Amino acid sequence: MKVLVVGGGGREHALAWKLSRSPRVSQVYCAPGNAGISAVAECVDIGATDLDRLVGFVREMGISLTVVGPEDPLCRGIVDRFEKEGLRIFGPRASAAELEGSKIFSKRIMTQYMIPTATARSFEDPQRAREFLEGADFPTVIKADGLAAGKGVFIAASFQEACEALDTCMAERKFGDAGNRILIEEFLQGEEASVLAFTDGKTIAVLPTARDYKRAYDGDEGPNTGGMGAYSPSTALTSDIMDQVVGQILVPVVHAMNREGRTYKGVLYAGLMLTKGGPKVIEFNCRLGDPEAQPVLMRLQTDLVDILEAVLDETLENIELEYDERPACCVVMASEGYPGPTKLGHRIVGIDTLEIDEELQVFHAATEHAGESVITAGGRVLGVTAMGATVAGARDKAYAAASKISFEGCQMRTDIAKDV
Ligand code: AMP
Ligand code: GLY
């Protein structure tokens, strides 16, 4: 069958790569894709939120299954639109994707259904928010309600910093309408972990666990990013904690969404803080994490098409996820200045000197062809992903490979998976 991956980052490269290995797949397409993805898929120049053209392309090419990588098209209703056209597509409908699209909605669900999370208050009026902050404990967390590409969360150490965050969202309107409403939330302490699961609204199939490194610089310093690296499995998520995550978080939220008439089908991603009082939800995402997807999909052995179809057909109960016991680690090579403004168009050298095999993949996050060369085309450029006998082995292999790749101004953390 022919499949289409929507998106063009590192996660979509990992998805396209995994799908290209399925014996059931004859051709993978990717819209818009990137230079690396073009090695495993035919890239088409259609934006991930250009729903009309995507529908037209799928019709024209006779594509049987579409898989959506990023949250934007999901929150804008790509799944609803495809379903209306009678096309098969993997991901939650807009009403379910709101779990990521609105942090206030998501908080309401968690509070109402007693899913452990930070306590929070929502505000539309900046003056009211300010008054509330006058009596708040610090640090406190300010979040824009809507999608802000991972940049709408502020950890404020003081009243002053909190007011600056408020201004960024509500006065400067840095995130547009996404910042019309905000949450002020309790600051949670602990180790972060991501749990991803497939669900068809009835059954939950948990993916291998992962840990993501969100801060830009070593030692978890610097601004929040989309993620500078990840490894799988997370060593912090013991089977005891996983039981709590499934029983107290995943099962109740899938149930809650059914009760709300917003049945959730797709990948459900729970970003967690492992606090002294147990795991608590920081956020839900409605898709695979990036870069978590890179190590996780590298380890997944079950045919991805079988899983995606089981979700669509609500037969996930018949699927047993199998994955490689060996850990995997992904190290992100980013452009200088990321997550702020960056200079693009630098030539990338060294990838072709690597021996790419089952245990080493260079997933492209933002690259383009320029003549014979491959050049940088965004903040996160590459995700060098390796498998090893241990987390340390996987990490060393990923860093050894990354050290052979270079481009001007490359910014990379040197401590991904070092604290394991
Ligand atoms: P989010 O986009 O909601 O995942 O938030 C981005 C990052 O901000 C998270 O990965 C955490 O590191 C941090 N964060 C968000 N909410 C909280 C919280 N309530 N307490 C502590 N840190 C948080
Ligand atoms: N790596 C975090 C995310 O995908 O949201």
Query: Does the residue 116 lie in any domain?
Result: no
First-last CA distance in the chain? 41
Q: Is residue 101 domain-resident?
A: no
Look at ligand 1, atom 11, and give the residue with the nearest C-alpha: 282
Query: CA distances (Å), 252 to each of 224, 282, 326, in order?
Result: 29, 16, 31
Cα of 222 from ligand 1 centre, angstroms? 14
**Contact at 8 Å (CB) between 346 and 411?**
no
Per-residue pLDDT of the chain in tens (420 residues, 90 and over written 9): 999 999 999 999 999 999 999 999 999 999 999 999 999 999 999 999 999 999 999 999 999 999 999 999 999 999 999 999 999 999 999 999 999 999 999 999 999 999 999 999 999 999 999 999 999 999 999 999 999 877 889 999 999 999 999 999 998 999 999 999 999 999 999 988 889 999 999 999 999 999 999 999 999 999 888 899 999 998 889 999 999 999 999 999 999 999 999 999 999 999 999 999 999 999 999 999 999 999 999 999 999 999 999 999 999 999 999 999 999 999 999 999 999 999 999 999 999 999 888 899 999 999 999 999 999 999 999 999 999 999 999 999 999 999 999 999 999 999 999 988
| CB 133 within 8 Å of CB 159 | yes
CATH of the domain at 383: 3.90.600.10
Residue 113's Cβ-side half-sphere holds a number of Cα atoms within 13 Å equal to 22
Prediction pTM value: 0.95
Residues 346 and 391 in one domain: yes
**Cβ-contact 377, 342 below 8 angstroms:** no
User: Does residue 301 sit in the same domain as residue 362?
Assistant: no
Please give the Cα distance from 230 to 27 (Å, whole number): 29
Can you give the CATH number for the domain in which 73 is found? 3.40.50.20
pLDDT in the model for residue 356: 85
- Ligand 1: atom nearest CA of 185 is 19
Using the atom order of ligand 2, give the atom closest to the CA of residue 292. Answer: 1
Please report the atom of ligand 2 found closest to the CA of residue 230: 1
Query: What is the number of domains present in the chain?
Result: 4
Question: What residues flank ligand 1, with Cβ below 6 Å?
Answer: 118, 141, 150, 153, 155, 185-188, 192, 214, 224, 271, 282-283
Cα of 148 from ligand 1 centre, angstroms: 13
One domain, residues 377 and 335: yes
Q: Does ligand 2 lie within 6 Å of residue 226's CB atom?
A: yes
Q: Distance from the CA of 150 to the center of ligand 1, in angstroms?
A: 10
Q: Is the CB of 227 under 6 A from ligand 2?
A: yes
Same domain, yes or no: 293 and 201? yes
Domain with 172, as residue range(s), is 125-180
The CATH number of whichever domain residue 138 belongs to comes to 3.30.1490
Residue 393 and residue 289 share a domain = no
Q: How many CB atoms lie within 10 A of CB 177?
A: 11
d(CA 349, CA 336): 16
Q: Quote the ligand 2 centre to 10 CA distance (angstroms).
A: 11
Ligand 2 contact via 152 beta carbon (within 6 Å): no
380 assigned to some structural domain: yes
Residue 72 belongs to a domain: yes
Give nearest CA residue, ligand 2 atom 3. Answer: 289
Give the C-alpha separation, 9 to 88, whole Å: 22
